Amino acid sequence: MVRKITWTVRAQNDRKEIFEYWNTRNKSNLYSKKLNGLIKESLLLMAKYPLIGKLTDKKNVRIKALKDYLIIYEVLPKEIVILTIWDCRQNPEDLVRIMK
């Protein structure tokens, strides 16, 4: 069963900030478009195979690695909820704080 993908406001903002960073840094949106395509591919896989990500200590929360990013999501009976997209080059203590 393919599950519906739902984004939290936080995850939407994270994705937007990542794209804005790369657009500004590269003075082009080419990389952001490529990254967005990779995110979409990952979401399709997650919708079809929700247990593809690594299990965390939080119930039903999993992590899917994508380049330098982690897609953190919750598996519910009929949907996948994207909780955040985390840039692995950030301070890991911030992620621990977010996940509490």
CA 39 to chain centre: 7
Residue-wise pLDDT for 25-57, tens only, equals: 999 999 999 999 999 999 999 999 999 999 999
Sign of the Cα torsion 56, 62, 64, 68 reads negative
Q: Which domains can be identified in the chain, with CATH numbers?
A: 4-99 (3.30.2310.20)
Q: Is residue 81 within 8 Å of residue 74, measured between CB atoms?
A: yes
Whether the per-residue pLDDT at 100 is higher than 80: the answer is: no
Percent of the chain with pLDDT over 70: 98
Residue 95: per-residue pLDDT:
72
Query: Does the model's pTM come out above 0.85?
Result: yes
